[in-house]
Chain A
């Protein structure tokens, strides 16, 4: 049954890792501006896709 002790200690360590992640995210201000992060995730660089139509416009002109 002493294996339970080891399991318990490990489960607390896992939980402590999550606590650490939470503290880190609080420290780096990730809870300060929830709206911006929600928007930011939608933005990605579409540079490569966007270049093509632009050059075609230039050619047309």
Chain B
């Protein structure tokens, strides 16, 4: 039996939460029944290994009714869109589980078949947090599995985008893996087979050379036809769009090398440059791969469909049904439960709405409405269920139109390289051609037999592939450096745009301030330990965010509570062990405003008919953000746009220098207009914001930086995602981006040095394959080293993690 007792302080064996009121089982303590249930399930299924890999690996399990949340999984029409594969009764379905975080999660989820009957197997993709379950539909259902997962603390998340058109999974990256493998294979083997050519001159191996050449010739075919195909495609794209990209001279050099080598082999004039050719292709593929490494768990291009749930509950002829969002029609009656998102604009017909629009507007105050009021899509109902009558369909609602208004900036994908690479490669190509031509002219007068030999040698040895390598390798290193420090960039291009920034615009709520952890102070007559317990208990019963924050702040053992009465967004009253207690707004407790000029919002406490004092809430500035902002203001002009009105004005004034533009009461549209006006007047903007209310501004800015507490949360479309805790490193990131440019230039210089050495041989018509075969890998490797060491040193000097 479970012995239930309390002690002062302990840590939950399952989830690691600190608790003052633990439930004990054997020698282990748990913070809540949810966690204990999971432990019991694991224990009875012999899965306690879960606790061996990591300490307290579990997720805190909130006991809540989730039936209506997964009701759509019982709807065949929805289910069929979600199913990946179906054969007889075997169904493959994948669940997105945002709570997955450690190796224990993997262990538990892949042993799901031991817990849930009918599950045949499950496989977790850890980096995408996606669990693919194969189950027998005669024994269990998608709904049952979703419930079981929720019970274990992994509530699956389905969004509207899951049922939309399935985006083609990137087969391109696999193709690149294949090409890299083939290129590596041929490069290695051709190098090996070329040794007799270099060293066996005059020995009895000489007679074998033709055989070796034939093998090499066979091996080079897949390199030139298959591995190099992406360079052809990019070069052709450049020609079609009439602009010179770096791929065109590369392809030209590759083809010249190939045909001259073929010519040499067939005329028995030499061995050709096949080893260099395959090496170049291999290194270039490697560089591009490093640069284009993506973060699988992060999505940069979310639209409203990933924010909305798949379905909602509608009320029809006295019954509740689940209906897909896309099928909601005007005049459907919807039921919105506690903490659910309102999917369409509509009229409130039943219940009292307390709506949190902070994601849409940036205003953290709750909006209250009585029946007859107009609710907007994107708001989150806080409190009991409400009924609304849809007045628009999903695609016509305000939230969606906000998203659609954004003119999307889509760069042409056929130009993967950055501007200064384009420029550098253009000059490079021009210089190269003039050297080739003057070499040709020189030899045509002195020794015409050397003409073709020297001209093609110039073009072979001075292939601009080294330029490409310096850029791709450096980009790759910096992308991973930024990611290690909490800044996730959409691609190499966004990294370069960091250097154009002249102006930084901040959002307030959720960016400068932390909404989930306000600073709470108490003002009034002192409360006893018992009274604090009582306040903590009653605060826990409320749904108001301030009360919830208070209960978390006090962290008290809940007492026995009776007669709880919630007065929405005004306050709450209850009896606790014979004491009458009220907490709420100033009017609610019947207080005359004695303490004037309160900054932020307050929660008043009245115990046994006597007003005792007030808990004050101030938004907390993110730690260490002040110095970071001061540092940024030295180099950039700053602005701060807030959706809120006056609250917290003084703390904002404290951290921003005087010349900052501080604007309050900004609607999403105002923010967008402000950013776009700056952009037009020639100040490239970095917009730092979170939430949908900044979506327009993020899109309109040169660099849109979305702030999030956790990368698996939903962020609006942006160029980069930054962890809230990494925001104070922003000055260092901006310096680092500048250093990246220097490193690229240094590697450029090195590659040009190598080219000069090669050219000095080539113009004399003396480039023999062995020199090419030494120069090419040497230059590639030294560039790779310089960019790697350079990036590490620059991150280290800035105090960033490496």
Instruction: Please list the residues of chain A having a beta carbon within 8 angstroms of any beta carbon in chain B.
Output: 1-2, 4-5, 8-9, 11-12, 15-16, 18-19, 22-23, 26-27, 31-36, 39-40, 42-43, 46-47, 50-51, 54, 61
In the A-B complex, the 9 residue pairs with the smallest Cβ-Cβ separation, listed nearest first, are A36-B126, A39-B103, A26-B177, A19-B185, A50-B46, A35-B126, A22-B181, A39-B106, A33-B125
**Are B177 and A42 in contact, CB atoms less than 8 angstroms apart?**
no
Given the contacts A47-B46, A50-B49, A54-B43, A1 and B208 also touching, CB distance less than 8 Å: yes
Q: In the complex the two chains form, what is the Cα distance from A4 to B590 in whole Å?
A: 100
Q: What are 24 residue pairs bridging A and B, where the CB atoms are less than 8 Å apart in the complex?
A: A1-B208, A2-B208, A4-B205, A11-B192, A19-B185, A27-B174, A27-B178, A32-B125, A32-B127, A32-B296, A33-B125, A33-B126, A33-B127, A35-B127, A36-B106, A36-B126, A39-B103, A40-B110, A43-B49, A43-B107, A43-B110, A47-B46, A50-B48, A54-B46
What distance in Å separates the Cβ of A30 from its nearest Cβ neighbour in chain B?
10
- Residue B374 at the chain A interface, CB threshold 8 Å: no
Contact of A1 among B174, B204, B212 (CB under 8 A): B204
**B630: interface (CB < 8 Å):** no
Cβ contact of B215, chosen from A1, A12, A34, A39, cutoff 8 A: A12
Question: Is B207 interfacial (CB 8 A cutoff)?
Answer: yes
B634 proximal to A (CB < 8 A): no
B1 and A61 within 8 A (CB)? yes
A-B contact count (CB 8 A): 77
Is the pair B208, A5 in contact by a Cβ cutoff of 8 Å? yes
Q: Nearest B residue to A22 by beta-carbon distance?
A: B181
When C-beta atoms are compared, the residue in chain A nearest to B125 turns out to be A33
Are A26 and B174 in contact (CB-based, < 8 A)?
yes
Which A residues lie within 8 Å of B128 (CB)?
33
How far is it, in angstroms, between the C-alpha of A33 and the C-alpha of B131 when the chains are bound? 12
Interface size on B, residues (CB 8 A): 34
B215 and A36 within 8 A (CB): no
Are A23 and B211 in contact (CB-based, < 8 A)?
A: no
Scan residues 352-391 of chain B and give those whose CB is less than 8 A from a CB of chain A: none
A40 to B205, CA, bound (A): 50
* Contact assessment for B181 and A8 in the assembled complex, using a CB-CB cutoff below 8 Å: no
- B189 in contact (CB, < 8 A): yes
- Report chain B residues within 8 Å CB of A61: 1
* Complex interface residues of chain B between 46 and 100 (CB less than 8 A to chain A): 46, 48-49, 53
Give 1 or 0 for each of B212-250: 1 = CB within 8 Å of chain A CB.
Answer: 100100010000000000000000000000000000000
Q: Find chain B residues with CB under 8 A from A15 CB.
A: 185, 188-189
Q: Across the interface, which residues of A come within 8 angstroms of B174, CB to CB?
A: 26-27
Give the docked Cα–Cα distance between A33 and B188 (Å): 27
A33-B125, A39-B103, A43-B110 known, 6 other contacts, Cβ within 8 Å: A12-B219, A36-B124, A36-B126, A43-B49, A43-B106, A46-B49
A19-B181 CB under 8 A given contacts A43-B107, A54-B43: yes
**Which A residues lie within 8 Å of B192 (CB)?**
11
Contacts of A54 in B (CB 8 A): 43, 46
Residues of A within 8 A of B177 (CB): 26, 31
**What does DSSP make chain A's interface, helix, strand, loop or mixed?**
helix
**Contact status A36-B125, CB under 8 Å:** yes
Let me know if B182 is at the binding interface, CB within 8 A. yes
By a beta-carbon cutoff of 8 Å, the part of chain B in contact with chain A is 1, 43, 46, 48-49, 53, 103, 106-107, 110, 124-128, 174, 177-178, 181-182, 185, 188-189, 192-193, 204-205, 207-208, 211-212, 215, 219, 296
B53-A42 in contact (CB<8A) = yes
Residue on B nearest A38 in the bound complex, by CB: B103
Taking the nearest CB of chain A, how far is it from the CB of B36, in angstroms? 16
Give A24 to B110 CA distance when docked, in angstroms: 24
> Given B1, B127, B182, B211, which contacts A19 in the complex, CB threshold below 8 Å?
B182
Closest to B130 in A: A33
A32 contacts across to B, CB distance below 8 A: 125, 127, 296
- Rounded to whole Å, the gap between the CB of B480 and the closest CB of chain A is 14
Contacts of B219 in A (CB 8 A): 12
Name the CB-closest residue of A to B203. A1
User: How many Å from the CB of B783 to the closest CB on chain A?
Assistant: 25
Per the bound structure, the CA–CA distance linking A2 and B107 in Å amounts to: 55
* Of B103, B181, B193, B207, the contact of A26 (CB 8 Å cutoff): B181
CA distance A32 to B296 in the complex (A): 9
Other-chain contact of B46, A4, A23, A51 (Cβ < 8 Å):
A51
Verify A12–B189 contact, CB threshold 8 A: yes
- Tell me which of B1, B208, B219 has the highest count of chain A C-beta atoms within 10 A of its own C-beta: B208
A16, A22, A42: the one within 8 Å of B103 (CB): A42
A27 to B208, CA, bound (A): 37
Is the CB–CB distance between A23 and B178 below 8 Å? yes
A34 to B1, CA, bound (A): 43
Contact A8 B49 (CB under 8 A): no
Q: Count chain B CB atoms within 10 A of each CB in A1, A39, A61 and give the residue with the most.
A: A39
- Which residues from chain B contact A9 at a C-beta distance below 8 Å? 215
Known: A32-B125, A33-B127, A43-B49. A4 touches B181 (CB 8 A): no
CB distance from A56 to the nearest CB of B (A): 12
Tell me, in angstroms, the Cα distance from A31 to B173 when the chains sit together: 11
In the complex, what residues of A have CB within 8 A of residue B126's CB? 33, 35-36, 39
B residues in contact with A18, CB < 8 Å? 185
Contact residues in A for B296 (Cβ distance below 8 Å): 32
Q: How many Å lie between the Cα of A60 and that of B445 in the bound state?
A: 104
